[in-house]
């Protein structure tokens, strides 16, 4: 029901730091209708060409400036992921995504007080890295 907000089209790119490609990043809107403190982001999963990325390699930023590990995110109550603002999901992976076509899948899950189970959405996109 919120799948159309997951994984903004055209947002998946390799991330360069200095002269090295340190990973890749993609953007997503929240799977909800309001902003929430980052600690309520319950889980984020990324798959590349059907291979699950290990949790430890995933970072999340609510603003593209400050990045948290998923473990750290559990206590991040002062930063909000605002509604209508792109959240940044970064995967640390030396060399990033190789040139060519990839199938990238993003799942985001959040917790809210009046719904008994965490919920979210998944979107798979074909990504071209040039």
Residue 18 Cβ, how far from other proteins at the closest point, in Å?
A: 33
Residue 107 Cβ, how far from other proteins at the closest point, in Å?
A: 15
Residue 124 Cβ, how far from other proteins at the closest point, in Å?
A: 12
List of residues contacting other proteins (CB under 8 A):
1, 4-5, 29, 33-37, 39-40, 42, 74-75, 77, 80, 82-84, 111-114
User: Which is closer to other proteins, CB of 18 or CB of 116?
Assistant: 116
User: Which is closer to other proteins, CB of 13 or CB of 42?
Assistant: 42
Sheet holding 51-52: strands in order across?
Answer: 51-52, 41-48, 100-110, 119-129
């Amino acid at each position: 029901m919120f799948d159309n907000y997951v994984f903004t089209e055209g947002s998946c790119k390799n991330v360069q730091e200095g002269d090295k490609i340190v990973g890749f990043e993609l953007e997503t809107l929240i799977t909800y209708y309001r902003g929430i403190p980052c600690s309520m982001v319950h889980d984020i999963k990324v798959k590349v060409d059907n291979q699950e990325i290990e949790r430890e390699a995933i970072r999340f930023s609510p603003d593209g400036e400050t990045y948290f590990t998923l473990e750290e995110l559990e206590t991040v109550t002062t930063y909000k992921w605002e509604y209508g603002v792109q959240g940044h999901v970064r995967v640390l992976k030396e060399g990033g995504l190789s040139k060519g076509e990839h199938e990238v899948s993003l799942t985001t899950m959040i917790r809210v007080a009046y719904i008994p189970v965490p919920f979210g959405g998944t979107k798979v996109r074909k990504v071209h890295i040039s």
